[in-house]
Amino acid sequence: MAAIRCESVTEETPLDAWTGLENLTDAVLVDVRTKPEWSFIGIPDLGALGKQVILLEWRQYPDMSVNESFATHLLEQLGGSMPSKIYFLCRSGVRSMEAAQVVNEAFSAKGFSTLCVNVSEGFEGDLNSNRHRGLTNGWKSRGLAWGQT
């Protein structure tokens, strides 16, 4: 693959991310939360778009250490095809931004060109005045498809 100037990490709302995933056939969503979060809180459901979310821990449960092989594992999961956009999602948008920045840097160093996009608000969104998530903003609160196992 020829080296092309790599884009910097950008951010989009959950609704914009859904639209991007819907309109770009090669765009993918990477949920960087932990296995317990996927199991107990739920995961995005991209079935209506004919896609599946990539589940890959950025910070590994239980000690929340950074997955030093994250970019390598993501490249493996992409199966050799580089999407035009990779959306990164976590609980609130913090871990996913970290992961997007690392992937952007790692993929740029390999000469890949893809746009890394952090999904602002995350899956559960910000805490409300009662310190509860999932009610103020985020993937779930915006009414986007999701499910639990």
Contact 76, 54 (CB under 8 A): no
The continuous run of DSSP H or E covering 71 comes out as: helix 70-77
pLDDT of residue 7: 55
Q: Report residue 5's pLDDT band, with 50, 70 and 90 as the boundaries.
A: very low
Q: What is the pTM of this model?
A: 0.93
Burial 27-41 (b: 16+ CB within 10 A, else e): bbbbbbbbeebbeeb
Q: Name the residue ranges covered by the structural domains of the chain.
A: 10-147
Mean pLDDT for the chain overall = 93
Residue type at 101? Q
Please give the Cα distance from 10 to 119 (Å, whole number): 9
- pLDDT band of residue 91 (cuts 50, 70, 90) is very high
Average pLDDT on 32-46 reads 97
The CATH classification of domain 10-147, taken from the options 2.60.120.380, 1.10.3720.10, 3.40.250.10, 3.40.140.10: 3.40.250.10
Question: With contact defined as beta carbons under 8 Å apart, do 122 and 134 qualify?
Answer: no
